[in-house]
Amino acid sequence: MLAEFLARRQRLIEALVAQGLNRPASSEQEVQTVVALTDFAVHRSLLHAGLPTEQAAAQITDVLVPWLRRTARSRKEAAHAD
């Protein structure tokens, strides 16, 4: 029962992230990367490293946003190359 709940929760998180990315062509890798980097365990790890919550959130954002922009740019370039 717990395993089913956790699996359903994970699917809902993934669906929410995919919708939040608002990219029809979002890859599974993009969704899984965003899910992983926004997981509470990452936040907790940054807190244990001494960062306050606001700075931990900023660090995660500083990693995610440029990466997502690069993946979008790469996808556009690949689409134009076809």
pLDDT at 24: 67
Residue 54 C-alpha from the chain's centroid: 18
31-76 per-position pLDDT tens digit: 999 999 999 999 999 999 999 999 999 999 999 999 999 988 888 8
Tell me, what's the pLDDT at 64? 95
Domain ranges of the chain: 2-81
Residue 71 neighbours by CB under 8 Å, 6+ apart? 27, 30
Q: pTM of this prediction?
A: 0.81
C-alpha to C-alpha distance for 81 and 28, rounded to whole angstroms: 22
pLDDT bin (cut points 50, 70, 90) of residue 25 is low
- Region 16-28: mean pLDDT is 82
